[in-house]
Amino acid sequence: MYEYRCIHCNHLFSLLRPYSSRDEQVICPHCQSDQVRRLVSSFASNTNSSSSGSSCGSGGFFR
């Protein structure tokens, strides 16, 4: 599930599509415009956000 916002009419909608085609062309269902920008899904983020902020710290490599 990905959220999109139409740049043309500012309409916010969501589409269920696979990860591989998340950046494919999306047409706004409201004004049929292709000026659509994909938003970052909020519910996909990790729930354990006790220390929100610098998760990607400087020099913190995992491998």
Binding residues for Zn ion, rule: CB under 5 A, are 6, 8-9, 11, 28, 30-31, 33
Minimal distance, residue 48 CB to Zn ion, in Å: 36
CB 13 within 8 A of CB 28: yes
Instruction: Say which residues have a Cβ less than 8 Å from residue 5's Cβ, sequence separation at least 6.
Output: 11, 12, 13, 36, 37, 39
CA pair distance 39, 2, nearest whole angstrom? 7
Q: Residue 32 Cβ, how far from Zn ion at the closest point, in Å?
A: 7
Q: Which is nearer to Zn ion, 10 or 45 (CB)?
A: 10
Cβ closest to Zn ion, residue 21 vs residue 32: 32
Task: Supply the minimum distance, in Å, between the C-beta of residue 37 and Zn ion.
Answer: 11
